[in-house]
Amino acid sequence: MSGEQKELLRIRRRAFQRERDLAQRLWRLGFAVVRGPASGAKAKRVIYPDLVAIKNRIIYIFEIKTKEKEDHIYIDEYQIIKLREFEKRSGGRAYIAIKVVDETDWRFVPIEALEKTGGGRYKIDKKFFREGLSLEDLYREASGDKPLTQYFKA
């Protein structure tokens, strides 16, 4: 295996571990959790988000984006279209789950809060690493406390 291949493998393995970390934390908060098959799986006819968490019939759809440093995140339009389709079918709400590795905790940005950029991509401002919804916010909503729309105006 070349050094480049090894590096790719290492990056993939780390992404997988982070996804598992989020899944476990949601599980411990009482959510039912399903992780999609690893990206790169032959799953083109069906659209899979990275993670789906459900509590009391409230459905959270997650696309996961982690960064090595605190910087804006850009997302291709096809991913947003995919998440919207999943929202429409399930009756759930889609979020981008973001995290600066080894620095910030998980934060969640509902896809309707993303800004569309000139190049047909969507931007998540880096302020959301601090200001996005927390795991606790999701937990409170799913436990019937308060709808998240009250916290979050797009």
* Residues found near a copy of itself in the complex (CB under 8 A): 20, 23-24, 27, 30-38, 43, 45-49, 52, 54-57, 59, 86, 89-92
For the bound state, the minimum distance from the C-beta of residue 94 to a copy of itself, rounded and expressed in Å, comes to 11
Closer to a copy of itself by CB, 44 or 69: give it.
Answer: 44
Closer to a copy of itself by CB, 82 or 123: give it.
Answer: 82
For the bound state, the minimum distance from the C-beta of residue 37 to a copy of itself, rounded and expressed in Å, comes to 6
Closer to a copy of itself by CB, 43 or 117: give it.
Answer: 43
Q: What is the DSSP string of the chain?
A: --HHHHHHHHHHHHHHHHHHHHHHHHHHTT-EEEEPPPTTSS-TTS---SEEEEETTEEEEEEEEEESSS--EEEEHHHHHHHHHHHHHHT-EEEEEEEETTTS--EEEEGGGPEEPTTSEEEE-TTHHHHSBPHHHHHHHHTTS--GGGT---
For the bound state, the minimum distance from the C-beta of residue 69 to a copy of itself, rounded and expressed in Å, comes to 29
Catalytic residue ranges: 39
